[in-house]
Chains A and B, each alone.
Chain A
């Protein structure tokens, strides 16, 4: 059995899980649905491992398999197969996606326990994983679009999972529409690829592209720019980033799964997958890295200012994905994928810890209100600290190794690429500050009302059925937690999920220690062997120098956070006052929503309302009315049009057709 066989199974299990849960929701007990959901993803993970083993059994130069089930569509030579492509890159993504998803499913099994829509949740969640795997395994650009759009749809469904909450449905709509804009970028890219190359399958496209295109020729740059529209929209990079923060309306496991570990990294995967095209268009590749840098800095500044726990983590996600785009933009593909993996570990962990805390806070997400969690929920607190350490790149953690490998490569390329080193270090400093802002704000200190309740009774507070975003009352079946909800971190599923991820977040970096081992790089090498950039490596000594710099910056950032939030708790307010302008800019997210609103939403709505109120009545009444008036004024006979004559005429025609019918019926017998 070759890798493609296992690849199909990887796709099959989550799809089957989703369909089975969806179809049997009336009869299946909730726990069984959850088990099927978890089981499907674990099975996919196992098949992913099998695919990887089978792939590793091949010699390096033939370590890729393409396989197709049937011809999906074909017209005028534009042939699209329902085919998959398994190579080290897609196998790596399959392992990360199914591995982290398994843990998140296990966590959700407990976390969503008392929710009314348990079946629906697991059906959507499995469908999401299926879509993501389709995106990763697709063998051609059109099937990639299908996976890409399914992911967008699944994320819509999960963001507006609590569908009677208007803030949630609005957020879902926003995410969906922005993602569709990204899809259109991919449509055009795929069409242009076919126009110029006459093929659409990955293998054929990457083989043919260097023969057809000159470096930086306009047509290849255009293709890459269209791909980037898709990549940026899905990965919430500027200027398509505004949906991600709103997407936090979804249940917290969804945020962990979609908005940290898997979906938002799809853009990074796309650039890595299409690297033969981007290397023919260095201009587009540089743009990728620049957008990544800008996003990582801007998102970092926002994360320092906002106070909503989940949104801080969301902006941090944007920022970390910025690093990944820098990586794949400058050609550090395996470093980018390595960071993608470690980020999936520690970011999913952070979201899980946040979910645990938010549940204990009766849905309140404001970090200014949270206090004393260190004592109230020690396990969650420990996990939160591990996640924050890895995120800020504390020496020895996974984030330290992966982030600095990217910056090291930028330094290695030299020249103007040094700006990525400088910007990256500034970003790392911001990261350390905001990560430990969370830690120092909510773990120490005297317990707040909710944590006190938890310490005394061992149960979480029952919140009022209100929308945490608006404070408006809701019907009790919406949202979470329900009446019967008693879990904080005690539930076994949540503990297992967090513990495994915590372990991975700590030690995941050991896969790739400069001078010691390079598991990820050598695993991915067959995919990137055609790339001259990927063949070059910074020296071990410069890598360790970079790591040392990273360690200093990370510790300095944590120290500053400690000084700001523990030692001098009044300092942040003073700073806010002194730099009011900057603070206003940051806390309003650089006015991204308002800019989009002003530039896109309002003009379109304006056109719509103009058309509706002025143009349309003219078309209907002016044009038709005019015609009718002309006809009427032509004379009294025609005035009959409305009543007798038209009806008579119509009946005449109808009897005509009946007569003709009978005539031919008789003749043909």
Chain B
């Protein structure tokens, strides 16, 4: 089952690449939908307290102890589902507009989905590292080939910057992963199975340096302050549908890595560096928020708001508290769901104003009340208005953080007020205020509505019952967090 989820996007991507041009969007769309259906079936079938399920375990390279091993549990199931959901509107949005060399575009986009799903599903540390590294490759092409040059920064150089950052992180992680396997084996049988590694445990001295090798890769991917240097240029260059899934899902792989790899395998180090990580999280929250409200470019506002949101998620994970970690996982799902429509809306706004700069914008709501309401819902979810699922996520994160460190939690809570300011500013400057003469305040079309609204409906449903996610995650997350808590005692 997991095999089919994992490889379906790639297969359909290949088909899209090979079939005549006019069939390519259909092939890609079908691929995304089939993946979504499969992921939904798995999600419905998963037993929240059943540990790792739907396990696929095949020996890959026996001598090195590397297995092709997949599985899904409460931690990964909603992220798999999120991935499957996010790609559908992205493909549909591309299909509705068309693009040059579209077969290749769909292939890259869907290859990216397979790699991302692989990272969420992998239960072998090296397989995880492999997928984690592969993930960036299709996006390198997507951003580089279909990206736009801006303000003297070419799409090429923006992507190179991204790759350099990512590669450094990835190489460190590869070294770390190999080291984990070798040290844990301690001369015996080599294995990279994550569960076995967690059981064997590492000496705390080794944990301490390996921790940072992994942390580097994950923090770059999120991105966290101050490792976000690649983000602004890459975000400005990227084609929007690709950016939507990139920002929604790929950034979560970093946070997921902390939950899946770092906490179970390096619990002592996680406990030891807890305060450092909390401060990095706090820095991301404050810096991301402050930058988000100084920027005028819609992509950068959303990009820096992601830095801040990922900061909250990191805060929740490293509170090493069940409420904080569950809140963080809920928030990963929420943020992913919010970011996809947000970036697509940026595209719609750009089509109406010819710009992504909120400076000269305004008044788009005039003839487009439905469009404005959709954007308003997304904005309110972004700023975690109480009543949205994002609020419950943030609330539990702050609860976890406060149980760990009162001062950090209180400073972090100022991020909530800053978010209110930058998110509302983004909404107001586009939808409200006087309408400039050269802007076309046009209602959202039925076609675009069908692309964006379903995901907004999911946001609203989750707002009424965030427990849908929490009841699925609680057992698995608690088990993960418990390891580090034991280490602390």
Contact = CB atoms under 8 A, between A and B. Distances in A.
Interface of A: 22, 25, 70-76, 78, 80, 120, 142, 145-146, 148-150, 153, 156, 160, 163-164, 166, 169, 172-173, 176-177, 180-181, 183-184, 187-188, 190-192, 194-195, 474-475, 477, 604-605, 607-609, 611-612, 616, 619-620, 623-624, 627-628, 631, 641-642, 646, 650, 653-654, 656-658, 660-661, 664-665, 667-668
Given A173-B428, A619-B228, A624 B386 contact: no
Interface stretch (B32-40, B333-341, B342-350, B363-371): B363-371
A166 B436 CA distance: 13
Contact of A187 (B115, B157, B373, B395): B395
Interface string B63-105: 0000010000000000000000000000000000000000000
Q: Which 8 A-B pairs have the closest CB atoms?
A: A76-B322, A149-B386, A608-B294, A180-B420, A163-B432, A75-B326, A76-B323, A612-B294
A624 B431 contact: no
Interface in B265-309: 287, 290-291, 293-295
B233 A620 contact: yes
Contacts of B10: 657-658, 661
A624 B163 contact: no
A664 B396 contact: no
Contact of A628 (B58, B164, B365): B164
Majority DSSP secondary structure for residues of A touching B? helix
B387 interface: yes
B385 A620 contact: no
A176 B376 CA distance: 14
Contacts of A172: 428
A649 B61 CA distance: 22
B178 interface: no
Contacts of B434: 164, 166, 474-475
A665 B424 contact: no
A163 B365 contact: yes
Given A624-B161, A658-B10, A149 B137 contact: no
Contact of B470 (A73, A156, A658, A661): A73
B355 interface: no
B229 interface: yes
Contacts of B11: 661, 665
A624 B164 contact: yes
Nearest to B13: A658
Contacts of B392: 72-73, 80
B356 interface: no
A658 B115 CA distance: 11
B290 A78 contact: no
Interface stretch (B21-29, B254-262, B397-405): B397-405
16 contacts: A70-B467, A72-B465, A74-B471, A75-B327, A78-B396, A148-B386, A177-B417, A184-B413, A191-B395, A191-B402, A192-B402, A475-B435, A608-B291, A623-B226, A627-B168, A657-B115
B385 A149 contact: yes
A168 to B, nearest CB: 8
B466 interface: yes
Contacts of B431: 163
A368 to B, nearest CB: 29
Contacts of A169: 428, 432-433
A221 B202 CA distance: 45
Nearest to B383: A180
B137 A74 contact: no
Nearest to B162: A624
Contacts of A190: 395
B111 interface: yes
Contacts of B395: 142, 145, 187, 190-191
B474 interface: yes
B97 to A, nearest CB: 25
B201 interface: no
B114 interface: yes
A181 B420 CA distance: 9
A146 B386 contact: yes
A612 B133 contact: no
B318 interface: no
A611 B466 CA distance: 36
Contacts of A641: 160
Contacts of B168: 627
B291 A616 contact: yes
A615 to B, nearest CB: 8
Contacts of B163: 646
A80 B326 CA distance: 14
B134 interface: yes
Given A160-B432, A619-B228, A658-B14, A642 B160 contact: yes
A654 B416 CA distance: 41
A73 B465 CA distance: 7
Nearest to A608: B294
A378 B321 CA distance: 66
Contact of B293 (A142, A474, A608, A623): A608
B413 A176 contact: no
Nearest to B431: A163
A187 B287 contact: no
B7 interface: yes
B417 A661 contact: no
B148 interface: no
B137 A650 contact: yes
Interface string B142-184: 0000000000000011001101110010000000000000000
Contact of B386 (A150, A604, A608, A668): A150
Nearest to B292: A608
A78 B424 CA distance: 30
B160 A628 contact: yes
Given A180-B416, A664-B68, A654 B369 contact: no
Interface string B49-71: 00000001010000000001000
B459 to A, nearest CB: 15
Contact of B232 (A22, A160, A604, A620): A620
A153 B396 CA distance: 22
Contact of B369 (A25, A72, A605): A25
Given A75-B327, A145-B395, A612-B295, 6 more contacts: A184-B414, A188-B413, A611-B291, A611-B294, A628-B160, A653-B134
B433 A166 contact: yes
A465 B213 CA distance: 63
Contacts of B433: 163-164, 166, 169
B344 to A, nearest CB: 22
A153 B385 contact: yes
A169 B432 CA distance: 7
Contacts of B414: 184
A158 to B, nearest CB: 13
B403 A195 contact: yes
Interface string B351-384: 0000000000011011001000100000010010
A188 B402 contact: yes
Contacts of A160: 428, 432
